Structure formats: C-alpha cells, structure tokens
C-alpha cells in the first residue's frame, strides 16, 4: 500500500474523529512533511483540504436527508460553532446549510467522494545516494504556489533567469530550486535560485537564504522536467520508505544537471530530499 493510500484509509476510517496533519502522519509512520508532499503529489490537494471536503460533503448529505440539528452536524464535521460551519459550508458549496436542508437535495453541490488513487506511470528509481551537505547559501526569488498551480513554476524560472547573470559570487553556473514543506492548505514556497559562496551585503533585491547542514537522499530524475512529479510520487510513496528513512521538515533541493537545457527541458535533475536523523517529526 502506498503512503497516500494508507493516509486515505486512515482518513476514511476516522472521519468522525479529530484529525490533524500531525496525527495522520504519525499513524502512517512518517513525518508531516513527507506525508504532505506525498499526498499533494498524488491527489493535487492537501491532506486537510481533503479531510474538510469529505466532512462537508457528508454534512451536506445529512442535511439533505433532513437532519434536524445543524449544530450537531457542525460539531461532527469538526467545527466548533454553527457560524464557523456555515462559513466553511458556504465557501465550498455557495449555499447555506439551511438552504440545503430546505431543498432536501444535494443536486448541484460539488460533493467530494472518497478518492481511489489510480495508478500513475511507474518510475523505476535508482537507489539514492546519501550525502551530508554543508551549509548552503542561496540567492533567488520566492513565490507561493500550491499543488494545483505548479504549472506556474516555469514562468517563475523565466523571471529569475532574466536576473541570473547579475548575481555575484555564484559558486557555479547551475541553478537550484528549493521547495518548502506545504502547509495544511497545500500552499508552499518555491524558490528559484543559485548557490553562492557569500552574500552581497548591499543587495536586497533578491531573497538570501541559508540552509543548515544535514543529510540528504539524492535521487536522479532523468526524464523531461515536465515529468518530475511522477518521480516525486515514486520517491514519497515507495523509494523513501524502502530505505527506512523519513523526510525532514526542511527544503527539498532540485539541482539541474550540467547537461540540462532550459530551452528543451531535457538533461535531468537531482532531487535532494532532506532526512531526519531518526524517527518522525
């Protein structure tokens, strides 16, 4: 069973219990960062977005069946008040709980049924290299994105590369991407950057980041850059569990290979997954 399938089973089995990203990750035996990445790559939504959508869908069905007490439905869906439940319900369905109960139907509502993950392209990954990396200094540009807006990352790279040549103190000429851990809504920071051996003291036009030393599992992505998320699915759901390690809550590093051609997207990358020393976080 893949990590995403395991998380889906836990969520569906415990829809009436308190669920948190930390709790689901612990039940899966992985870090919250690893679960967030795995679930988002497999489904296109965050863990807690799925939990909330499933609970609101069940609430809508109960209301359409004539449930007399809206507050009880709200509490069962994980909301502490009638008002909070109504806001979330309206945001998702563009209708109030009262109107659904009055209409006695869920027709026209965007209900979310339990997900059944379909097989993706099977990526045969080579065993990773384990590398201890010293302090990493990155200069670049950062933008917020989510699992359903990753298509915008290539445009972010174009904007960064227009400023790339003017960056001083580059360690080499190979750009790197940094992908931070998603929050509960699936939002995460992505950085297009380059490694430098020192920061420019007087320049604040670009983001300056210092990543602390740690160990990484380094995986090869040899295909076209557009298929990188198939490789990520394989890493989160099979390859990383196979080596008995969990991902740390730290940035993932995407390093373009020396042969990478930004005009064609060919040439491959290495994906550096930060590792915990042991256990989960």
What are the pLDDT digits (tens) for 49-107? 999 999 999 999 999 998 888 999 999 888 889 999 999 999 999 999 999 999 999 99
Please, which pLDDT band fits residue 280 given cuts at 50, 70 and 90?
very low
Over the chain, what is the mean pLDDT?
88
Q: For residues 170 and 271, what is the distance between their CA atoms, to the nearest angstrom?
A: 20
Digit-coded pLDDT (tens) for 262-275 = 767 889 999 999 99
pLDDT of residue 119: 59
pLDDT of residue 113: 87
Model pTM score: 0.76
Q: Which helix (H) or strand (E) holds 160?
A: helix 153-164
pLDDT of residue 44: 85
Q: For residues 276 and 43, what is the distance between their CA atoms, to the nearest angstrom?
A: 25
Residue 179: Cβ within 10 Å count: 19
User: Tokens 């899966």 belong to which residue?
Assistant: 28
- Sorted by where each starts, the structural domains of the chain and their CATH numbers stand as 3-103 (1.10.10.60), 129-274 (3.20.80.10)
Q: Is 274 in contact with 251 (CB distance < 8 Å)? A: yes
Residue 32: Cβ within 10 Å count: 24
Digit-coded pLDDT (tens) for 9-60 = 888 877 767 889 999 998 888 889 999 998 988 888 899 999 999 999 999 9
Q: For residues 134 and 114, what is the distance between their CA atoms, to the nearest angstrom?
A: 43
pLDDT of residue 266: 86
User: Tokens 């980041």 belong to which residue?
Assistant: 209
Q: For residues 176 and 187, what is the distance between their CA atoms, to the nearest angstrom?
A: 20
Give the largest Cα separation in the chain, rounded.
67
* CA gyration radius, the chain: 22
Q: Phi/psi of residue 150, each to 5°?
A: -65, -15
Q: DSSP states of 131-153 as a string? A: EEE--EEEEEEEEEEETT-GGGH
Q: For residues 96 and 48, what is the distance between their CA atoms, to the nearest angstrom?
A: 22
Q: For residues 161 and 218, what is the distance between their CA atoms, to the nearest angstrom?
A: 25
Q: For residues 34 and 51, what is the distance between their CA atoms, to the nearest angstrom?
A: 17
Question: What's the token pair of residue 277?
Answer: 């020393």
pLDDT of residue 205: 75
Question: What's the token pair of residue 123?
Answer: 């990526």
Digit-coded pLDDT (tens) for 165-204 = 889 999 988 899 999 999 888 899 999 999 999 998 766 6
Q: DSSP states of 71-95 as a string? A: HHHHHHTT-SSHHHHHHHHHHHHSS
């Amino acid at each position: 069973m893949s990590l995403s399938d395991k998380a889906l089973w836990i969520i569906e089995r415990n829809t009436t219990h308190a669920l948190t990203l930390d709790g689901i990750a612990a039940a899966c035996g992985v870090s919250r960062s690893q679960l967030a990445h795995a679930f988002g790559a497999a489904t296109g939504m965050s863990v807690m977005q799925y939990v909330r959508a499933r609970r609101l869908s069940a609430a809508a069905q109960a209301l359409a069946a004539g449930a007399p007490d809206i507050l009880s439905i709200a509490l069962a869906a994980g909301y502490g008040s009638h008002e909070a439940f109504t806001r979330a319900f309206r945001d998702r369905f563009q209708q109030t709980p009262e109107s659904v109960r009055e209409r006695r139907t869920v027709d026209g509502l965007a209900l979310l049924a339990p997900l059944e993950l379909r097989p993706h392209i099977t990526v045969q990954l080579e065993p990773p290299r384990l590398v201890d990396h010293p302090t990493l200094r990155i200069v670049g540009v950062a933008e917020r994105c989510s699992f359903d807006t990753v298509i915008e990352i290539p445009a972010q790279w174009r904007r960064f590369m227009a400023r790339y040549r003017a960056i001083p103190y580059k360690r080499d000429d190979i750009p790197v991407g940094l992908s931070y851990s998603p929050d509960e809504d699936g939002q995460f920071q992505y950085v297009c950057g380059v490694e430098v051996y020192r920061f420019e003291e007087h320049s604040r036009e670009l983001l300056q980041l210092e990543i602390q030393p740690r160990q990484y599992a380094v995986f090869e992505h040899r295909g076209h850059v557009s298929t990188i998320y198939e490789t990520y699915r394989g890493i989160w759901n099979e390859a990383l569990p196979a080596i008995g390690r969990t991902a740390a809550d730290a940035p993932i590093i995407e390093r373009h290979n020396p042969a990478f051609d930004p005009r064609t997207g060919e040439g491959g990358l290495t994906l550096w997954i930060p590792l915990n020393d042991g256990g989960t976080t």
